[in-house]
Structure 1
Amino acid sequence: MQSLTEKFNELRQHLKGGISSMKHTGFDPVYYLVFPAEEMLHAKQALPQILAQLKLDGFHPRVLSMTRMLNEWFRRHKLRKAWQAGLSSSENDRQQFKSTFSNKLEKERVVVDAILKELEELKSDSHGLLLITDLEALHPFLHISGIEQQLTGRFCVPTVVFYPGTRGGSQSLRFLGIHKENGNYRSIHIG
């Protein structure tokens, strides 16, 4: 089994190939750096070193944390107090919260628009690179595979998704190691 360092070095080789090495395949320049869920803390601790190495490789990496982005959205939202009340109630109320919250995230395009905003800001940078971290914050509300599908054709810079989970087949991943395999990913999986 590859270590996180070995996976990162493999990722670096892909990134050094440039965006043109993927575009002819019909894929967007999206890479999933896959690591077991129990290594999430290690991956977070390694992020400063990863960023430093990417800068040495000539990239201008930008990090989009799902945790930070969702927290900011939640804190500003007009339904925040109602959602918080629903969390402290019965199991049925918590299930209703999950459904309502998921629907709001999708309807308001919270994650899709946050990624598009970052891509827009990076598109004129020929060395731009987007890193999407803290994917576990999406659980159990959204699936990154659906978000990737909505953004197909819009990834203008290489985008690396730090994916806590396991690989299945050549195109399937299992989020957090607890969800069933999902084969709807159209990207390169490393790990």
Structure 2
Amino acid sequence: MSSLESTFELLRSQLKGTDALNPAKSDPVFYFIHAPEETLELKQKLPLWAAKLRQDDLQVQTASMAELAWKIIDQSGRWESWLEAEPDAEPTEINSAMRDVLRGDDGLIGEVAALVSEPVENRVLFLTDTGLLHPYFRVRTLESGLHDRVKVPMVIFYPGKRSGQYGLKFLGFYSVDGNYRSTLVGGTA
């Protein structure tokens, strides 16, 4: 069994557990940790995994972080001005402007909160394309911003490496962030 398949089976068993939505526990957030080079293979497996979860009476809703980010950027009305400024601007200036839009009040946290803040029986949210948030948004920022608002199990497909019990290394090249408190599934410790 491939590492992706074994990680999925571990996730599946945790989602079937009675504690996935236990109010006495932390938010039902799961990080599915995989090597960045496995992203394409993982995306190809998502429909099969959703079908397997349907056999467990769970309905999967999938949201692409890349699509949510583009929606927010489009709604900001700033894209055309960024394109005009790009030839003369430093890349850090453009990146900073995009980062501000994604982190704003109506940014990524708000978009994801709309998907998870109301309890929907037997639903699981898959968040894909998190690697495409680099360098604009750190995934842990999402978890922190959603604290105590996640009412449906949320699986964040995380391209990176595991480091110890609570540490993750985004895309395998960022330094280890040891402040993750949600359930980490897969990866190498």
TM-score after normalising by structure 2 = 0.91
Residue type at the aligned position of 1:51 = A
SS at 2:157's partner residue? strand
Q: Once the two structures are superposed, what CA deviation does each residue of 1:129-178 show, in whole Å capped at 9, x if it has no partner?
A: 11111101211011111110111111111111000111011101011111
In the alignment, what sits opposite 2:103? 106
In the alignment, what sits opposite 2:10? 10
SS at 1:108's partner residue? coil
Could you say what the CA RMSD is over the residues aligned between the two structures, in angstroms?
Answer: 1.9
Deviation (angstroms), 1:4:
0.2
Deviation (angstroms), 1:19:
3.9
Deviation (angstroms), 1:179:
0.5
Contact 1:23-1:29 within 8 A present in 2 as well: no
Deviation (angstroms), 1:31:
0.5
What are the equivalent positions in structure 2 for 1:1-191 lying under 5 Å apart? Answer: 3-19=3-19, 23-24=23-24, 26-89=25-88, 93-120=90-117, 123=119, 125-191=120-186
Residue type at the aligned position of 2:48 = Q
Q: Once the two structures are superposed, what CA deviation does each residue of 1:84-125 show, in whole Å capped at 9, x if it has no partner?
A: 2344445xx2110111211221123411111111114x51x2
Residue type at the aligned position of 2:168 = L
Pairs aligned (count): 186
Q: Identity of paired residues, percent?
A: 30
The CA distance in 1 between the partners of 2:115 and 2:99, in whole Å, is 22
Contact 1:19-1:157 within 8 A present in 2 as well: no
The CA distance in 1 between the partners of 2:50 and 2:20, in whole Å, is 22
Change (3 A) 1:183 1:101: same
The CA distance in 1 between the partners of 2:73 and 2:147, in whole Å, is 26
SS at 2:18's partner residue? coil
Q: Which moved more, 1:11-20 or 1:49-58?
A: 11-20
Contact 1:165-1:174 within 8 A present in 2 as well: yes
Change (3 A) 1:59 1:164: same
Change (3 A) 1:75 1:21: closer
TM-score after normalising by structure 1 = 0.90
Structure 1 gaps, min length 5: none
Q: Which moved more, 1:64-73 or 1:172-181?
A: 64-73
Contact 2:69-2:102 within 8 A present in 1 as well: no
Deviation (angstroms), 1:56:
1.2
